[in-house]
Structure 1
Amino acid sequence: MDKIAGLAAAAELFKVLGNESRLALVWLLSTGPLTVGALADKAGLSQPLVSQHLRTLRHAGLVTSEREGKEIRYALADQHVAHVVLDAIAHVQEPNEQGNQQ
């Protein structure tokens, strides 16, 4: 099979998104920029853990950061990743063919 352009990069994207906490952070950031503290509160995670996940997301080019005074606000680099995550959540919440939730 010939290599499909972008397939390897897409697989790497799914590896990064293959963590429930990182999915939660992307979901939270889909509504707008937030600080580490706000993300930790809303996600129910510790600030060090949120910082670690944000570092992974930033390294993958999915999240950007901008300093505002003493705080850093994190935002999605673009809305494409939000669409992927939100569509995946909507997909798993749809009833399957037998009418049962997955």
Structure 2
Amino acid sequence: MVGAATGRESSPLSVADADRLAEIMQALGSSVRLRILSALRYRPSTVTELSELLQIGQTTASNHLRLLRHLSLVSGSRDGRHIHYSLFDDHVSELLDEAIGHLEHLPTRG
């Protein structure tokens, strides 16, 4: 995408890159999806494990994981009947870390 790694940080986003990035940012606009990504930072998990950990229904977890997988934010590896989900790569973890770190710079609500 865009940034120091691509050498395109000094030019505006193309329409295609802006559309793709907006789609990813919309996915990150869900507290459930952010909690799923946060849980996957620590270890790969199945839908069942995530639903128990986050106290959400398995169908809800599965639907969110499908979108996250479609956007290449998570990947899944099959082990028999189970799929173990993990973050797609280190960039997803870094993106999440930056967003969480930004919380420290925001004024408290109250």
**Which moved further from structure 2: 8-17 or 53-62?**
8-17
Unaligned 5+ residue runs, structure 1?
Answer: none
Q: Residue 10 of structure 1 aligns with which residue? A: 21
- Determine if contact 1:30/1:79 at 8 Å carries over to the other structure: no
Of structures 1 and 2, the one scoring higher in RCO (CA 8 A, sep 6+) is 1
Task: State TM-score, norm by structure 1.
Answer: 0.83
Unaligned 5+ residue runs, structure 2?
Answer: 1-10
Identity of aligned residues (%): 34
Q: Residue 38 of structure 1 aligns with which residue? A: 49
Q: CA RMSD in A?
A: 1.8
2:89 corresponds, among 78, 81, 99, to 78
Aligned residues: 97
List structure 1 segments (4+ residues) > 4 angstroms apart after TM superposition: none
Task: State TM-score, norm by structure 2.
Answer: 0.77
